[in-house]
Chains A and B, each alone.
Chain A
Amino acid sequence: MSDASLPAAALPRGRLARQDGAAARIVLIALALGFLALFLALPLAIVFIEALARGWQAYLGALADDDALAAIRLTLLVAAIAVPLNVVVGVAGAWAIAKHEFRGKSLLVSLVDLPISVSPVIAGLVYVLLFGAQGYFGRVLASYGVEIIFALPGIVLATLFVTFPFIARELIPHMQALGNAEEETALTLGASGWRTFCMVTLPNIKWSLLYGVLLCNARAMGEFGAVAVVSGKIRGLTTTMPLHVEILYNEYMSVAAFAVASLLALLALVTLAAKSFLEWRYADQIAASRRH
């Protein structure tokens, strides 16, 4: 008798426990959703509402402006230079850190994080100090006619500095988890180092690399602080989209400002959507490449 009654007595208590869990779950979800709505969704919506406040005509007009177009072109150009460079340097750095043991490795790992911990404004200022007209190398470079600060090279340098960690940080933990075994196997089978990288390493890390590239690209296009310092904000020449938004906003041209801002916001949304789509489309492959 007692045997039979025991589970029956335990059951309601178990159900109660689960109800407690359900209540806590609802509270937690509501909290998270409320926070996201207030601090993310609402501001994002306002960008589009403000941009379209005077209708499509004004919106498209603001985007067709010469300075706006120049800013869009410059932003795309900077990203087109900075992202591939970061792919090369990021993969090389992650490879060195994840697959090799060497003196000063922990220092290198901390250096990878440096751009994230340093204020972008400081990054920009450092480049001004180095390459500006009064800077350490500025005069020498100027005598050869090389302009870095207040020109494209400076903007690219500042963007590179700020966006470097995105690819390396995405790759390092994944490559460390994968270990060296497959590479070593490929080498014993007679493959060259380059072939091993292309045939074994790259296919294994391609998803992390892609995430890294998406994040790096989003940041390269959206970077403000470091670029603001080195660009000099010469309209139509050295203003990227974020700088252009700020200039327009300061001049009380809110429709134009939000129109350009909406493009940047759109880029963020497309990046997110692309990431989610890839995760959904290739879920099994991604899982397989993470499994050891």
Chain B
Amino acid sequence: MSAAPKSVPVVIEQASRQFGGFAALKGVSLTIEPGELVALLGPSGSGKTTLLRLIAGLDQADQGSILFDGVDADTLSLRDRRIGMVFQSYVLFRHMTVADNIAFGLRARPRATRPPDSEIRRRVGALLDLVQLPGLEARFPSQLSGGQRQRVALARALAIEPRVLLLDEPFGALDAKVRKDLRAWLRALHDQTGHTTLFVTHDQEEALELADRVAILNNGLLEQVGTPNAVYDHPATAFVCGFLGEANRIPVELRGGQAIFDGSPVFHAGANTSGSGALYVRPHHFHFDISGATGLNGQVETVRRHGAIQRAEVAVRGLARKLDVDILSAVAPAVGERVGLRITCGHIFAGT
């Protein structure tokens, strides 16, 4: 690219949006630093695409404001916002060649700021090199694979030298292998071009791997914003804990700094809260204790291969759902064996 595009900070202040009687966003505030890659993570219907469309200017917030570099976005036309938007379904112009698709934003500029044809051609070539699709200028979208279409859509968005890049489920429609490749490639591309980027995903693995910071949205509200390590290791809410990776939920009684299940303490609660709560434990945070000296006892029901490790389902009296427990030791317990479980790490959420 010729001139490095200027990336700007985006500030979202108390954005709300209602559709009929349904509140899609209930006052969301989020600041994205210049050049930052932020993932907007949440389940379907959490409001993440709504937020993205508000930033893009395709929809208007009922309340709150969005600032680009300190300027209220409401005062900017879509053209002046200079948003590079990539949609989940690519949305390439099907009757145009790849080159015409990428050049669309440049040709749509008013005459005074429109680059000459030779310059447009040069830039299209450079962008195709950037997205690693050289020589595909004359193809039509229908002649490309899904991954190629996605990269053309990105090249088209980059062509207008956007100040902010918005990606809506950029890899949602691709198969697992292509997703993984494109993920690494997008991270490298971001390091190279340095656009302020916000991408929407419902895939927590993708968000944790790609983003500088992850914003977790649920029911139109932000649950937590932080670095991948921060949100994964220190989830602020039960929802975040359950959504970022697998977790077993154990209802407990909080008393005297201990989490008590079925009458015996199972985990050190730390804070001196009391009342009922929930203890969330990830499958790899259990330790088998054959001696059975811990508070949590159960019977191994099944042992299955789960990627690199084996996983046991352990039925515990008083728990409706069986616990998923990763078998980290070399010796696997046998099916039907009675085992004790020691919790090495867990998250306690009072009152849930």
Contacts and interface: CB of A to CB of B under 8 A. Distances in A.
Contacts of B56: 188
A288 interface: yes
A186 B89 contact: no
Contacts of B159: 189
B66 interface: no
Candidate in A181, A186, A187, A285 with the most chain B CB atoms within 10 angstroms: A187
A85 interface: no
B91 interface: yes
Interface residues of A, number: 20
A203 B95 contact: yes
A192 interface: yes
B58 A181 contact: no
Interface string A190-227: 11100100011001100000000000000000000000
A189 B156 contact: yes
Interface in B136-169: 142, 156-157, 159-160
Interface in B87-115: 87, 89, 91, 93-95, 104-105, 108-109
Contacts of B157: 188-189
B85 A185 contact: yes
Interface string B113-126: 00000000000000
A190 B104 CA distance: 9
A181 B95 contact: no
Contacts of A182: 91, 93-94
A190 B105 contact: yes
A188 B104 contact: no
A192 B91 CA distance: 18
Contacts of B57: 188
B268 to A, nearest CB: 52
Contacts, number: 62
A204 B108 contact: no
Contacts of B105: 189-191
Contacts of A204: 94-95
Contact of B79 (A190, A288, A291): A190
B78 A185 contact: no
A184 interface: yes
Contacts of A289: 94-95
B83 interface: yes
A189 B160 CA distance: 7
B58 A187 contact: yes
Interface in A145-199: 181-182, 184-192, 195, 199
B87 A189 contact: no
Interface residues of B, number: 24
A191 B93 CA distance: 13
Given A288-B142, A289-B95, A192 B108 contact: yes
Interface in B196-244: none
A182 B89 CA distance: 10
Given A184-B58, A195-B108, A204-B95, A190 B89 contact: no
A216 B189 CA distance: 52
A182 B90 CA distance: 9
Contacts of B142: 288, 291
A181 B108 contact: no
A285 B159 CA distance: 27
A184 B142 CA distance: 20
B91 A190 contact: no
A182 B56 CA distance: 14
Nearest to B94: A288
B94 A190 contact: no
Contacts of B85: 185, 188
B212 to A, nearest CB: 23
A190 B109 contact: yes
Contact of B160 (A184, A190, A200, A288): A190
Contact of A186 (B82, B83, B104): B104
B91 A191 contact: no
Given A181-B87, A187-B78, A200 B93 contact: yes
Interface in A261-292: 285, 288-289, 291
A185 B159 CA distance: 13
Candidate in B83, B87, B93, B156 with the most chain A CB atoms within 10 angstroms: B93
What 4 A-B pairs come out closest when comparing CB atoms? A189-B105, A191-B108, A190-B79, A188-B85
Interface of A: 181-182, 184-192, 195, 199-200, 203-204, 285, 288-289, 291
Interface of B: 56-58, 78-79, 82-85, 87, 89, 91, 93-95, 104-105, 108-109, 142, 156-157, 159-160
30 contacts: A181-B89, A181-B91, A182-B94, A184-B58, A184-B87, A186-B93, A187-B78, A188-B56, A188-B57, A188-B58, A188-B83, A188-B85, A189-B108, A189-B160, A190-B78, A190-B82, A190-B105, A190-B108, A190-B160, A191-B79, A191-B104, A192-B79, A192-B108, A199-B108, A200-B93, A204-B95, A288-B94, A288-B142, A289-B94, A291-B142
